[in-house]
Structure 1
Amino acid sequence: MPGKELTAWLDEYALSHQNPTNIIIHKICVPAITLTIIAMLWRLPIIPKHIRNTVSIGKSGLINPSLIFVPVLAFYWNLSSSMAIGMTILFLLVIISLIIMEKNHVRIFRLALIIFILAWIGQFIGHEIEGKKPAFFKDLQFLLIGPLWTLSHVYKFFGIDY
């Protein structure tokens, strides 16, 4: 991804998202997919509890696979500091929500998996309506750009530069 500017990524991503219905579907499904990936990684039991809980809030261990999102934030920072800040805020809000959900004994992984599947079904319905293949079929890197494309609409709405 080196060398390509944020606007070039967003413009290219937007080429396969022109239909108003598909755009609405993506504005719902892209954040849902992003949030559920973080949630599923949060609950993935691949790190031993004694390591997971070395840094914790209550009984919620913070050392977990969702930290894979940190290098993604660094990639976002290279594209746009304001977008990276926005994504970092969202990431932290998701983590806080997951901690609250854990305290309330919500079955996070199951819930996230169901939402993840439904959101992907929505994505493919949107692209069927659009009549174009998803951007990530051309380049897997667009899986990282989708959340920024969605956030860019929020930034435009509020007049925030990126």
Structure 2
Amino acid sequence: MRNLEQHLVQYAMYHRDKRNIKTHLIGVPLIVFAVIMMAYVPIFELSGLTVTLAMLLITLAGGYYFFLSPTIGLMMVAILILGYAGVLLIHQGMSSGMSTNWMFYGFGGGLFIIGWIIQFIGHYFEGKKPAFVDDLIGLLIGPLFVLTEILFKFGFLKSLEDKIIGQAGACRN
């Protein structure tokens, strides 16, 4: 099983164009938020708490992220929980009938499509296919890549950034 560095190096090899990385800073969060939104489907009740598919996905993804890196994993879990809270607020704001469900999930679907359009524009600049085409785990690593890119911009995780650049190469304009 690959570690965090190996996953990020593999993902980075498909993302060396700065324009592509910039599109990912927008597209990936949109897609993640849309997935949380579309997975906001009640599954069962547990002591008065409605457990949704989104909660289960966040728990599973969060556990995997925590396994790869406790620190970055906790950051990702916090971000996912914030996304879930946002979805909850949107759902509560729209909850007034059956047609609202169609609007809610339609909005999530729209965000999902927009996020992927932005992603594919980035890969047009890159001249390479998305990482998940060769390895589906790339769908889970994308959000980690975005988070670490943001952390790199603020001067954090310099050693990890250097290792990724050393193996995947420097970014180009």
Task: State the TM-score, normalizing by the size of structure 1.
Answer: 0.84
Counterpart in the other structure of 1:25: 23
Letter of the 2:8 counterpart: L
What CA distance in whole angstroms lies between the structure 2 residues aligned with 1:121 and 1:5?
A: 29
Matches within 5 A, 1:101-140: 101-105=90-94, 107-140=103-136
Q: Is the 8 Å Cα contact of residues 36 and 87 (structure 2) preserved in structure 1?
A: no
Counterpart in the other structure of 1:100: 89
CA drift of 1:54 comes to 4.9
Structure 1 residue runs of 4 or more that deviate by more than 6 Å after TM superposition: none
Matches within 5 A, 1:1-162: 2=1, 4-42=2-40, 44=41, 47=43, 51-52=44-45, 54-56=47-49, 61=50, 63-66=51-54, 67-105=56-94, 107-161=103-157
Instruction: Identify if the C-alpha distance between structure 1 residues 53 and 99 changes in structure 2 by more than 3 Å, giving closer, same or farther.
Output: farther
CA drift of 1:93 comes to 0.8
Letter of the 1:122 counterpart: I
Amino-acid identity (%): 33
What CA distance in whole angstroms lies between the structure 1 residues aligned with 2:35 and 2:3?
A: 25
Q: Number of residues paired by the alignment?
A: 150
Secondary structure of 2:77's aligned partner: helix
What CA distance in whole angstroms lies between the structure 1 residues aligned with 2:112 and 2:45?
A: 24
Name structure 2 gaps, 5 residues minimum.
Answer: 96-102, 161-173
Residues 139-159 of structure 1: CA distance to partner in whole angstroms, max 9, x if unpaired? 001111000000001222334
Name structure 1 gaps, 5 residues minimum.
Answer: none
What CA distance in whole angstroms lies between the structure 1 residues aligned with 2:110 and 2:151?
A: 29
CA drift of 1:33 comes to 0.7
Give the alignment's Cα RMSD to 1 decimal.
1.9
